[in-house]
Amino acid sequence: MYLNHITLNTGHVARTNRADVASEITTLLGEWLPAIINSGQHHPLPVPALAQYSAQAFVQDGGLVVTVYGPEPDIGPRLPWMTFGVAHKSRHAESLWCLLVANFGAHPAAKRPSVPWCAVAVLPTAPLDAKILGWLADFERCVAWARVTRNPELRAAT
């Protein structure tokens, strides 16, 4: 099984195999996601080395939307660095794709891939640092696989 990982800004698509993400990671993220969904709060990323970064998430028509934020500044709000959506079933794909494209735009080459997919909008506030963008891409894929394999019917914790 593979996941289509598309960057809306560029139209670039990469396929990620399920075996590329350790089960310990999907377990960790699968336990973290219910706490952050629809909470309206910033939650630290669940990896100690990345805990200065945070995320918020919500579910829209069955699709997961996650925004990752940079570290908390001395003055002012945290800046969003990127937002991504995960469609794990075809019934979630169209409305989630439309929501992402309407809010963030898409490169002309960006076409909705087959499910499961993770579509990413890198925001203008994200640092143009290859190292940071690299771990963000890894994080997106790991969250997407946690959504697809561990919690396909994920809802907010009650």
Tens place of pLDDT per residue across the chain (158 aa): 899 999 999 999 999 999 999 999 999 999 999 999 999 999 999 999 999 999 999 999 999 999 999 999 999 999 999 999 999 999 999 999 999 999 999 999 999 999 999 999 999 999 989 999 999 999 999 999 999 986 544 443 33
Give the pLDDT score at 50: 93
- Whether residue 8 is contained in a domain is answered as yes
- Whether residue 67 is contained in a domain is answered as yes
Residues 6+ apart with CB under 8 A from 142: 21, 25, 26, 29
Residue pair 46/32 in contact (Cβ under 8 Å)? The answer is yes
Give me the number of domains the chain comprises.
1
Residues 6+ apart with CB under 8 A from 158: none
Please give the residue range of the domain that contains residue 22.
2-123+133-150
Give the pLDDT score at 155: 42
- Whether residue 158 is contained in a domain is answered as no
